[in-house]
Amino acid sequence: MRRLLLLPLTAGVILSSVAGASASVAAAPHASYPPPRTPVTLTSGFFADPDSVPATWVRANRTNPSATRIQSAIGSKPIAKWFGAWSGTIGTAVGSFVGRADNADKLPVLVAYNLPGRDACGGHSAGGADTAAAYDTWISAFASAIGTRPAIVVIEPDSLGDFGCMTPDQIAARNGMLNFAARQFHDRAPNTWAYLDAGNAGWIDAATMADRLNQAGVANVRGFSLNVSNYYTTAQSTAYAAAVNSALSAKYGYTKQFVADTSRNGNGSNGEWCNPAGRKLGTPAQVGTGSNDMLLWIKTPGASDGLCGIAPTTPAGTFTADIANHLISGV
C-alpha cells in the first residue's frame, strides 16, 4: 500500500517595523497538503489479477490460436473478482485477494454475490446463501477480511432490479440484508468504497430505483453501481445516474457517487441482455469525473450470461474463447 506522509506547513514569516508598528504575518506561498485518504489515493492504479479467469484460461491454453489475443485484450486488464458460495471460506478468500493487491500497491475491485434468492426472477444465476442469518455472517466476514486496506466493492448485482416475481415480504427481507451489508462495509472496511447495485439504464425507472436504493441503505455507502453485466453506453449510464440522483435529492435530500461497468459496452446495447451478438469490449478500468467515480470491468469479458444467445450451451459464469473473441472483434 502506498504510505502517505504528513508534510509540515512552512512557517509564516513575522515582520515587525522598527518604528513599533503592529506585526504582520506573511502566509506561506506554497504550503503542501497531503491528498485525501481514499482508495484511489492510497494505491497506484487498479489491480490486474494474474490469476483472473481469462488469464488462467490463457495459461492453460497457450497453444490455442486465440491465447495471445485474449491475454492482450482481456487477461492483462483489471477485472473485478466475484465472490460467492464457490469461494470457500469467505474471509480467507477475500483476505488473500485483497492482500495480493495491497502488496502490489494496487486497488482491487470485488463483487459480493451471495444474496439468498439471487436472480430470483431471471433464474440464470440463481443461488445464494441458504438463509438471511447465513448471509449476514458471510457478508460480515467479507467486510472484516478487507479491514483497513483499500478496495472497491459492488454489492449484489441485480438485487434491486429483480423484484418482479417477489412478494412484499421477500422484498422487505432482501432490503434488510442489503442494509446490513451496507453497514458492514461502512463500519468494518473504512478505506473501501462500496456501491449498492442499481441495475441499468434500461431496466427500472430512475425514481423507483432511487426509492429502492434509499430503502436498501445506500446512504451508508459510497454510492451505487450501474450496467453490471449489461451493455448500455457510458453516456446512457451517466444520464441514468443523474436521474437517480435527482430523485434522491428531491425526495431524500442527498445524492451519491456511482460506478459503471464498461466491460462489454463498446457497441452499446441492442436490447438483449443474455449473450447477445455484436457486442464489444468497452473502456478499461479508469477513474471517472464528477459523480462518476470510476469506469470498471465488473463482468468478466468472455464469461457467459447463461444458456442463451451466442452461447446456448455455456452455463452462466463459464469463460470461453468464443465469447471472448466476439467481444474483442465486436461481431
Measured distance CA(50)–CA(127) in Å, rounded: 28
Active-site residue, selected from the candidate residues 49, 102, 158, 197: 158
Residue with cell 503592529: 22
Q: Residues 263, 82: contact at Cβ < 8 Å? A: no
Residue with cell 497453444: 63
Grid cell at residue 92: 480467507
Does the annotation mark 261 as catalytic?
Answer: no
Measured distance CA(97)–CA(75) in Å, rounded: 17
Does the annotation mark 322 as catalytic?
Answer: no
Position 302, amino acid: G
Nearest CA to 127 out of 80, 181, 83 is that of: 83
Residue 86 burial (CB < 10 Å; 0-12/13-18/19+)? exposed
Active-site residue, selected from the candidate residues 119, 162, 261, 293: 119
Grid cell at residue 295: 469506469
Q: Residues 73, 86: contact at Cβ < 8 Å? A: no
**DSSP letter, residue 226:** E
Q: How far is the CA of 69 from the CAs of 64, 179, 239, 282, 328, in angstroms?
A: 10, 42, 33, 16, 9
Residue with cell 444465476: 125
Active-site residue, selected from the candidate residues 49, 102, 261, 305: 305
Tell me phi and psi for residue 55, to 5 degrees.
Answer: -65, -40
Does the annotation mark 169 as catalytic?
Answer: no
Helix (H, G, I), strand (E, B) or coil at 303: strand
Please identify every residue annotated as catalytic. Answer: 119, 158, 305
